[in-house]
Chains A and B, each alone.
Chain A
């Protein structure tokens, strides 16, 4: 039995909005980063599903998903490096500790 395309899209939409929710509510920088990764991964699902179900004659969507995975890995690496640097500076990675510039 073939699984219909809509089910994949529902999953990816839920992932996107869970990511947005997490981005705004999490209190730990790593958790914020995980939320953002969730958003990026929902996009990969979308591309793969659209390509597989709607436009199977070309590979554009798969390639875009591959590149998106690679780029998001680079982003995560830089973000984690910056978070480690924050930890070295203030021994803490809670979001509320990052408010020294509020005026």
Chain B
């Protein structure tokens, strides 16, 4: 057997190394040496991020089963940085009395989902794609149910695993029909054999519905709000940014690579789904009082905006999609970081609890405001530029009506994001949240997020770098 094939999988190998080291350290390290577990985990993972940040030339391994493209390094690095920020924000929660004993498991489970996403993105065959998808979603259910003694967390775990299995069963059925009509599972071979007969269209719909479940687009979003609310906050932020970002990228590459022959059909499907997703998620977000639930609906509508990049299906669309995911990561993790630290210190997650937050926590409320403004897309912040590029990509393909509807929806989204800002700055409160000192990990992560929100849009070099590697249909 030729082992040199493994050398093409540098990212995966170094991630597995990090996982194994952390697992051994967690199991065999003495109690005294484990005081720095968090620090060592962050440093190791940071090293892994830095080693793999430079793209190398495109290659294939294992007879086309594993495909590497330079673009994948960009996306994987974005996911790595997001995961690192989530690790830092999880510090307070992981060091709390009840969770400290399960600290190592959190890292192992999170990194296994990340490994699954890597494989899912690099797959050149439906088999590897499916295994990656499942590796990404099974540990995720365990993470959602991580707070073993909380009823809500257990509920979230059950809802996640059952919906995930249901979605992957539908996807698998689609894949089986695709196999039946084409006789192969390799993406390149399937692409040339998809002719658009009715059975293939049905297979495609089954397959893509499973993916829509993972991205939580509207008719398939019903699990999202409950899972986001019930899961521990760090897991929620991981789920909403990393899991969603990778799934969106995979959907776009699959649609372009495997189904170019039925592009008219899938564009029509996406057109309807995008409109419904953005509108309904925005309308539901208005009436949410729990901030985690609120951000769940906000993330559904953001996923709808990301679909604008998918529907344009060219290099511009891919650039704006990856850029959108990067900016969305910075803004959403900023918002979740604030919610997470406040929930850990005071146990409050309702919007009314944030009344008068500015008086006692000026920095936290500023961070939250910047993140929400960026999510809404207000000019100096990065969110404006990402929305601009993604609208430009869709408009370049002639989807003017779709862009108009999305634009109108940003006005609605501005309304509900401002509700939170109003609660923090204007609403009077007799007893605002007591002041507390947040730990250094949270501070660093919030500074990084806010720097991202402020600078990602202004430094055009990032967008240019992404556009160097993107490819179209």
| A residues neighboring B (CB under 8 Å) | 16, 19, 23, 29, 32-33, 36, 39-40, 42-43, 46-47, 50-51, 54-55, 58, 60-61, 63-64, 67-68, 71-72, 74-75, 78-79, 81-83, 85-86, 89-90, 98, 100-101, 103
Give B288's nearest chain A residue, CB to CB: A103
One digit per residue, 1 when the CB lies within 8 angstroms of any chain A CB and 0 when it does not, for chain B 159-198 equals 1011011101110110111011001110000000000000
Decide: A46 and B141 in contact? CB cutoff 8 A. Answer: no
Of the residues A68, A72, A98, contact of B155 by C-beta under 8 Å = A98
A50 — which chain B residues lie within 8 A by C-beta? 176, 179-180
Knowing A61-B179, A85-B154, A101-B229, say if A78 contacts B138 (CB, 8 Å): yes
Interface: B134 (CB within 8 A): yes
Q: How far is the CB of A101 from chain B (nearest CB, A)?
A: 5
Given A23-B166, A39-B166, A82-B161, are A68 and B152 also a contact pair (CB < 8 Å)? Answer: no
* Given the contacts A46-B173, A50-B180, A60-B179, A103 and B293 also touching, CB distance less than 8 Å: yes
Q: Is the CB of A39 within 8 A of B169?
A: yes
A75→B134 contact, CB < 8 A: yes
Smallest CB separation, A83 vs chain B (Å): 6
Q: Name the one of A71, A81, A90 contacting B131, with C-beta atoms under 8 angstroms.
A: A71
In the complex, B145 has a CB within 8 A of chain A:
yes
How far is it, in angstroms, between the C-alpha of A43 and the C-alpha of B176 when the chains are bound?
A: 6
Known: A39-B170, A55-B183, A64-B185. A79 touches B161 (CB 8 A): yes
A73 to chain B, nearest CB (A): 11
Q: A63 to B179: give the CA distance in the assembly, Å.
A: 12
B149 in the interface, Cβ–Cβ < 8 Å? yes
Number of interchain pairs (Cβ within 8 Å): 121
Which residues does chain A contribute within 8 Å of B161, judged by CB atoms? 75, 78-79, 82
**Bound CA–CA A54/B176 (angstroms):** 13
Pairwise interchain contact A101-B169, C-beta atoms closer than 8 A? no
A100 and B179 contact, Cβ closer than 8 Å, known pairs A29-B158, A39-B169, A67-B130: no
Instruction: Assess whether B155 is in contact with A19, with CB atoms less than 8 Å apart.
Output: no
Chain B residue nearest in CB terms to A84 = B154
Counting contact residues on chain B (CB < 8 A from A), the size range is 35 or more
Contacts of B157 in A (CB 8 A): 82, 85
B331: shortest Cβ distance to chain A, in Å?
24
Q: Does B107 contact A (CB under 8 A)?
A: no
The answer to whether B154 touches A64, judged by C-beta atoms less than 8 angstroms apart, is no
CB distance from A32 to the nearest CB of B (A): 6
Q: List, in ascending order, chain A residues with CB within 8 A of B158's CB.
A: 29, 79, 82-83, 86, 98
Task: Judge whether B166 and A64 touch: CB under 8 Å.
Answer: no
Q: List 13 A-B contacts (CB under 8 A).
A: A23-B166, A32-B162, A40-B165, A46-B180, A51-B179, A54-B180, A55-B183, A64-B126, A64-B127, A82-B141, A86-B155, A101-B293, A103-B289
User: Once the chains are docked, how many angstroms separate the CA of A78 from the CA of B145?
Assistant: 10
Complex Cα gap A103–B289 (Å)? 9
Residues of A within 8 A of B131 (CB): 67, 71
Q: A61-B179, A85-B157, A89-B154 are in contact. Are A79 and B162 (CB under 8 A)?
A: yes
A58 to B134, CA, bound (A): 25
B309 within 8 A of A: no
CB-defined interface of B133-161 with A at 8 Å, one 1/0 digit per residue?
Answer: 01000100110010011111011011101
Q: In this assembly, does B230 line the interface, its C-beta being within 8 Å of a C-beta of chain A?
A: yes
Smallest distance from the beta carbon of B445 to chain A beta carbons, Å? 27
Q: Is B290 an interface residue when CB atoms closer than 8 A count as contact? A: yes
In the bound complex, how far is the Cα of B71 from the Cα of A54, in angstroms?
37
Q: What are the 5 closest A-B residue pairs judged by CB atoms, nearest first?
A: A39-B169, A46-B176, A50-B180, A43-B172, A82-B157
Instruction: Report the minimum CB–CB distance from B295 to chain A (whole Å).
Output: 14
Chain A residues with CB under 8 A of B142:
78, 81-82
B226 lies within 8 A of chain A by Cβ: yes
Q: Chain B, 209-246, contact with A by CB distance < 8 Å: what is the 0/1 string? A: 00000000000000001100110000000000000000
- Return chain B residues, CB-CB under 8 Å to A47: 176, 179
Asked whether, in the complex, the Cβ of A100 is within 8 Å of the Cβ of B155, the reply is: yes
Q: What residues of chain B lie closer than 8 Å to A32, measured between beta carbons? A: 162
Residues on B with beta carbons closer than 8 Å to the beta carbon of A55 = 183
Instruction: List, in ascending order, chain A residues with CB within 8 A of B155's CB.
Output: 86, 98, 100-101
Instruction: Report the Cα distance A61→B125, complex, angstroms.
Output: 12
Bits for B21-36, please: 1 = Cβ < 8 Å to A, else 0: 0000000000000000
Q: How far is the CA of A2 from the CA of B126 in the complex (A)?
A: 30
- Cα A47 to Cα B155 in complex, Å, equals 33
Known: A33-B165, A82-B142. 17 other contacts (CB 8 A): A16-B169, A16-B173, A29-B158, A36-B165, A39-B170, A46-B176, A46-B177, A46-B180, A63-B127, A75-B134, A75-B161, A82-B141, A85-B157, A86-B154, A86-B155, A101-B226, A101-B293
Chain A residue nearest in CB terms to B151: A89
Please state if B141 and A79 are interface contacts (CB–CB under 8 Å): yes
